[in-house]
Structure 1
């Protein structure tokens, strides 16, 4: 009896449907995409159809022709035929090879992760017209996104190999550079995204040659995860959401391959935050709960606080005030309990200091105020506390606070105070105006339209228009 091709089916289930938002692609949609890509690439007409794809998924056929394999690799984002479960016939009897032993999603295995990061970063560094891996890639949603992340709950498979090991001085230098890149991005916004992507590409090319499973290599995977997280944040900042999502997932995979599920869960928390920014609270909540379950025995109090804030974010966007307030209370309790574990956390988790916690909670109260304006007062209290406690060097966070507080004052119908806060934010916002800061300024611009006749508000909106137009 044929063995089903679970890898091909899983790859299709990770691909969003172009015609049914929130669903995965049908066999017919995949076949049409393959035929269209082959026509563009070869100027030849191909007739792959849903019936033949069903035979491939059932394992009745295991080795499609070269053109179909090429098209399926492109459409499904696979690096090689094996990632789609395609096995050539044996020369001895012409029969099919036995199916692979490991039918789990291979992208989370240590060796495959390094290959995928190298391929994605190499493609990202090419001119847009020459990209193949990222070309046309859609943001994963719903079941496709959940299916991509589910292997987080399973141990990474490490195949030990031979190669040139990382030396301690190399790893020390890489860690210091990674810390510098994160600092430069968060403090002044002038770091080029391509510089981080290029560093990640160089690092993982080296990682592919290192012997797997050694302490040095595991440390190198962890450094790669940090670099991928920075690249994801910067890519998100410039609005390349599908590529940013790919980097967040790669960060989680690299950390998982390093055996560091705390770092992996921080990457998942960032991925959830991206879902919230894109207005998909259900997806974000599912990701957070996956991270919480995967680290239920290992999470530090501070990490539990991070994940609780992300869970509360979903409830705020869904308008569930009771669940939000319960979760926020847990976040504050975990945060207070975790004052002593700060040195054991990743930089992303360490950044949840008292000011950041207050800022996040305040911004979420503002989200709740969209359902009931009475929550705007709490938003003002928490964001005001964040502003009072922010370190001066955390300029971008301060800009977010000022914009968020201004939007809360619009809800309480205090337009002059809102405009005053925006005028304080604009001189600091220029370095990030093309990214998420610009998006938040546009939110204020839209929400302030109701007060456009107020001179201070009119001036602040004109200043935003001038900044965004640069």
Structure 2
């Protein structure tokens, strides 16, 4: 008796329908999306239809051609064929190109590079942006994609090709530093430009001899650029693209042997889960990062990961576990005061101001379960504002809006309105992204105080800015 392909069907049913809000994607819609993606990326027309997809789900067909497998992996958000239940025939298993990655046990550097090229090429096609079939993966789908983080990357150690030169790598690392500082200060970078740079870089990785020190260093540079692209996508609310870039950053960093940088990407994935209302999924991701860096993480990185763990507990209202995680974060941070050599982005930026701001925001989340924690949230965020360097403009806006929301929890609407008025003049450059999301959160949460004149004016100003 034919065994149904439950993994493929479940992957399809997790996707929203582009034509029927609130419904799951139909087979015809998935087939159409696969054909469209294959046309955009290969310039060739394909004819996948709902009938053949039904045969795949029933298990009548088990191994579609390479193009259909690639398209289904992309549209359904799968890390490899095994995640969609595709089983190669015995002759395919005997081919030398088959690697452990195809069986879901580890990432393969060659496949990783090819996926990176497809991702960046697709991101440069503006018309493909925002597809409802390209949203973030959560729950078991995300866990399956991240499982290979537990194993070393399979490397094809061929020695032909053109290697990176040391001056090229030095220049690329300086470029990454400029991108990070510019985005943090101005928020006006073009993600298409960053995606193009990443695409060019991973093509060099494909041509470079694998397993050499220069190529390993090149993988790390690629991870940093992917992390920047992911942050930019997340800042403008493109959560699906952000997740794919964060996963790519984790993969490239893992290939470089830098699990600290990979853990930072996982921490960002956890943050996405929290913002999307899935604290349980986020906790699983962050615990994976903690486990895989348990012997190697610097104190500053341990502090970053502990704050993410605390975030999950705050959203779940688990006060005792939250306080324990916060205490660990503060202890780790105090141990890492001189940990300025940390090369991982989030760990490097977790100064005293950032730590206070993050903890304060999490106390505000906990205060939604117990209002007594609102005052503690205000104390921490106020400390962050006092410590912030003037160049951290976006962080300061987050602090002001977060503090305003904490004052709403403690029923101090006039003070909340004052803080929003202070934040708005500088918020315009980032209002299309997460800053805008947080301002709209304030607008929604302040509705109960809409009769207070100062709050009414603040809500009107927020609405005018975010609707522009």
Q: TM exceeds 0.5?
A: yes
Asked if 1:128 is matched to 2:132, the reply is: no
Distance (Å, rounded) in 2 between the aligned partners of 1:38 and 1:278: 26
Q: What is the CA RMSD across the aligned residues, in angstroms?
A: 3.2
Q: Determine if the alignment matches structure 1 residue 142 to structure 2 residue 146.
A: no
Q: Within 2, Cα distance between the matches of 1:31 and 1:246?
A: 23
- 2 CA distance for matches of 1:451 and 1:227? 43
* d(CA) in 2 for partners of 1:328, 1:343: 23
Preserved CA contact (<8 Å) 2:219 2:256: yes
Which residue of the other structure, out of 79, 94, 108, is the alignment partner of 1:98? 94
How far the C-alpha of 1:235 sits from its partner, in A, is 0.2
Asked if structure 2 preserves the Cα contact closer than 8 Å seen for 1:188 and 1:431, the reply is yes
CA separation of 1:71 and 1:326: change in aligned 2, threshold 3 A: closer
Is residue 16–residue 133 contact of structure 2 (8 Å, CA) maintained in 1? Answer: no
For residues 80 and 310 of structure 2, the distance between their equivalents in structure 1, rounded to whole angstroms, comes to 40
**Superimposed CA distance per residue, residues 157-216 of structure 1 (whole angstroms, 9 cap, x where no aligned partner):** 111122111111101111111110111111111112222111111111111111111111
**Counterpart for residue 212 of structure 1:** 210
Query: How many angstroms apart in 1 are the aligned matches of 2:432 and 2:334?
Result: 35
1:19-418, aligned counterparts within 5 Å? 35=31, 47-48=51-52, 52-53=56-57, 55=59, 63-64=63-64, 72=72, 75-76=75-76, 98=94, 100=98, 102=100, 103-105=102-104, 108-129=107-128, 136-161=133-158, 162-418=160-416
Q: Aligned partners of 1:67 and 1:295: how far apart in 2?
A: 36
Q: 1:460 to 1:75 in 2, by over 3 A?
A: closer
Count of residue pairs the alignment pairs up = 448
Contact 2:205 2:218 in 1 (8 A): yes
Structure 2 distance, partners of 1:184, 1:148, is: 31
| SS of residue paired to 1:291 | helix
Distance 1:110 1:9 in 2: 28
- 2:359 is paired with a residue of what secondary structure? helix
Q: Structure 2 unaligned segments of length 5 or more: list them.
A: 18-23, 37-44
Q: Distance in 1 between matches of 2:198 and 2:381?
A: 35
**1:410-429, aligned counterparts within 5 Å?**
410-429=408-427
For structure 1, the 5+ residue unaligned runs are 21-27, 91-95
Distance 1:155 1:293 in 2: 15
Cα gap change, 1:383/1:440 in structure 2, threshold over 3 Å: closer, same or farther?
A: same
Classify 1:118/1:69 alpha carbon distance in 2 versus 1 (closer, same or farther; 3 Å). closer
Q: Distance in 2 between matches of 1:187 and 1:382?
A: 23
1:52-86: CA deviations, max 9, x gaps? Answer: 54547xxxx66446886576455445799899767
TM-score normalised according to structure 2 size = 0.87
Task: Give the TM-score of the pair, scaled to structure 1.
Answer: 0.87
Conserved in 1, the CA contact under 8 Å of 2:78 and 2:145?
no
CA distance in structure 2 between the aligned counterparts of 1:66 and 1:109, rounded to whole angstroms: 17
1:436 aligns to what? Answer: 434
CA distance in 2, matches of 1:380, 1:101: 53
* 1:415 Cα deviation from its structure 2 partner: 1.4
Q: Is the 8 A contact 1:272 1:287 kept in 2?
A: yes
From the superposition, tell whether residues 357 and 16 of structure 1 become closer, same or farther in structure 2 (CA, over 3 Å).
farther
Partner of 1:93: none
CA contact (8 A) 2:77 2:137 kept: no
Q: Is the Cα contact below 8 Å between 1:249 and 1:268 reproduced in 2?
A: yes
> What's the secondary structure of 2:133's corresponding residue?
coil
* Closer/same/farther in 2, CA of residues 355 and 77 from structure 1, 3 Å limit: closer
